[in-house]
Chain A
Amino acid sequence: MNEAKSIHERKHVWRDEILLIVGLLLFVGVVYAVNNSLQPVFTPATLLLTGVFLAIVPAAIWLVFFYLQDRAEPEPKGFVLGVFALGGILAAAVGIPVVDDLFRVSHWLRSDTITTIVGGILVVGFTQEFLKYAAVRYSIYNSDEFDEPTDGVVYATAAGLGYATVLNIQFVVSNGGVDLGAGIIRIAVVALAQAAFSGITGYFLGRAKFESEQIWWMPLGITLAATFNGVFNWLQGIVTRPTLSLSGATSNAWMGLALAAVVAFVTTGVILVLVRRNLKSLQAGK
């Protein structure tokens, strides 16, 4: 097995997370600028194809950064891609049907503040976070390739971005394409949020594998991620609420992007601190 391996940290994981956030903000800026300056005209088919392509970009940005930097002790590319695909498949086969068709959240979730938060946590949060957890727990988790606590963050982020990609493709397809202004912001927000919540689950998964944690450890991780998920969606609804004035309604989609970026930065920072503190204590006790 891996008895002789030293305890270390894949430092580039944090760079990848930060680069994903910065890369996504740049991606949104570029698409927005191109759209405003060129004002491209699309046919329905090209609008749909463009939307699907743009929905894949956030995951592509992270995967490219990850592979470029994962040189010291590379994770098998197939495994990371496999968990990414599994996250997407679970979203399409289970997550979206459960949330949209079985629970029909669009009918009742936005009834009032309490409902938005409670329903967001219990239904949307737990469904999404459990499926991303399952994508890692029942695939790579028991493999020898999951050999560092930070691998939890790596694989959970891959699952989260797979989930986000399918959510975004569903959004694009159900709308027959995507507006390059507000739509591209939504795509980035979903990717940032899903990656951030997955990071929480990944941190708990990493520790669960390499330390003898209590029985409540992993349930706590899923509950925290689901709670962040539900609260974030509520806040997102508040900050993006259009401003009404005599001249019409103004979209606040940029505020939503700013919120998602802040949440992703803070979550990554907190997980980084926790992982480092944990590794130090492991090294001290070794």
Chain B
Amino acid sequence: MANKQVSLGDRFAEITVVALTVIALIAGWLYKSSIENASLAFNAEGVSAQAPKGWLQVEPAGNEILHTVDIKSTGFGATYVIQKIPTTQEASAAEVSSRLSLNYAQNLLAFRMLDQREVTVYGREAYEISYVFVESNPDLTHDQLPSVVRGTDYVFLNGDHAVVVTFQADEKNYDLDMGRFLVFLRSLSF
């Protein structure tokens, strides 16, 4: 049987296989994005947003009006929280952030502030705080090492209250999950 040389047809077939695989992966990426970015309309107390679809909705506590967790995340599940905190007319975003930080420092394990600054988020003035802490799961059957969690809060002043949007994720997934959070943040209106 002849061991034929690589013909032009073979070359084209080879290129077609590579092209087909690339097309399949691009289609897969678009499909993945459509699944991950699928959202549900959220509206409470004058704040609306497109919350991720398929995430666990945790019962809001305290000033929270939305608390949703991606239970499919590895380690600490990516978490979005919206709080509506009453403030005085004179309060600055930096002061609200300080209160938040103090609260975190009292309640979160190994809390460290990484950065804080004034930012503009999709045309709206805000104050951003970035921090890190160690997850402390009180569940004794949770047989895993504690996760290092990175968080970012955006504080928006709005009349007699502040709207605080929180993003927390496992340190390993933080950068990858940030893109999805920005989609959520962009959808926010109040």
* Partner-B contacts on A (CB < 8 A): 1-3, 5-7, 98, 103-104, 106-108, 111, 115, 118-119, 121-123, 126-127, 130, 133, 137, 142, 144, 146-148, 208-210, 212-213, 215-219, 222-223, 226, 282
B contact residues, range: 20 to 34
Q: Identify the 5 closest CB pairs spanning chains A and B, nearest first.
A: A122-B28, A123-B28, A126-B24, A130-B21, A108-B35
B13 in contact with A118 (CB, 8 Å):
no
Residue in B1, B17, B27 whose CB lies within 8 Å of A7: B1
Q: How distant is A33 from chain B, measured CB to nearest CB, in Å?
A: 29
Instruction: Find chain B residues with CB under 8 A from A123 CB.
Output: 24-25, 28, 32
A213 in contact with B13 (CB, 8 Å):
yes
B176 beta carbon closer than 8 Å to chain A: yes
B72 in contact with A223 (CB, 8 Å):
no
A144 in contact with B3 (CB, 8 Å):
yes
Instruction: Find chain B residues with CB under 8 A from A3 CB.
Output: 2
Stretch with Cβ within 8 A of A (4 or more), from B4-12, B61-69, B96-104: B4-12
* Partner-A contacts on B (CB < 8 A): 1-4, 6-7, 9-10, 12-14, 16-18, 20-21, 24-25, 27-29, 31-32, 35-36, 54, 70, 72-74, 176
B17 in contact with A222 (CB, 8 Å):
yes
Q: For chains A and B in complex, what number of residue pairs have CB atoms within 8 angstroms?
A: 93
Cα–Cα distance between A215 and B55 once the two chains are bound (Å)? 45
Instruction: Find chain B residues with CB under 8 A from A209 CB.
Output: 3-4
B35 in contact with A111 (CB, 8 Å):
yes
Cα–Cα distance between A169 and B35 once the two chains are bound (Å)? 30
Cα–Cα distance between A264 and B27 once the two chains are bound (Å)? 28
Cα–Cα distance between A6 and B1 once the two chains are bound (Å)? 6
Instruction: Find chain A residues with CB under 8 A from B7 CB.
Output: 212
Cα–Cα distance between A126 and B2 once the two chains are bound (Å)? 31
Instruction: Find chain B residues with CB under 8 A from A148 CB.
Output: 1
